[in-house]
Amino acid sequence: MKSKRLLSITLLGIFMALIVGILQADDGQMFRRNISKTPEQETERANLAHMTFYVPAQTSDGEITAVEYYDAAGSLVDLREFAKPLVAVYIDGILETAVTSAEFPFAILSGAGYGAHDAHAAFSLDDGATWKRTNLSNSAALSSFVLANGQPYPGDAHNMTFAV
């Protein structure tokens, strides 16, 4: 009976310590970035990965820098001169006005595979503060065939495979 009571008290103590630890945890402010820098265009199939090694922190133009980390109150917590490289890929489309017709009354307003899209990649060496972007496909301005109405059908990068 004594061992059950001791076990109950021990488990209750561990549980309370976990609850207090969770309530006091501070992961800092949410860090959001618009990697594509094209808010007026639709961005599809975005993927983000980090490499498993550290490199000297530098901005997208190559300037050596230090990465500052702040807590939720805005106090500087850490200053690092190294970071894990981040790699992002996404498909960016050119925003077009949707046209409806009698046979298809519902317009398709978004979605990869409809309209002109390019495959892009971006990388960051300073934990996402700055990004170096490049167009991998350059296919949106190209056309491989002409529609029956005489309009060239735009190029489209509708799927990407991504591995780091």
* Tokens matching residue 27: 């992961």
From the list 91, 87, 148, 80, the residue with the least C-alpha distance to 114 is 91
Region 22-46: mean pLDDT is: 69
pLDDT of residue 54: 94
State which amino acid sits at residue 89. Answer: V
Residue 147, pLDDT above cutoff 70: yes
Q: How far apart are CA 114 and CA 104, in angstroms?
A: 15
From the list 152, 113, 153, 160, the residue with the least C-alpha distance to 136 is 160
Residue 35, pLDDT above cutoff 60: yes
**Which residues touch 84 (CB under 8 Å, ≥6 apart)?**
50, 51, 52, 53, 54, 55, 127
Render pLDDT for 42-100 as a digit per residue (tens, 0 to 9).
Answer: 677 788 899 999 999 999 998 999 998 887 788 888 899 999 999 998 887 765 544 45
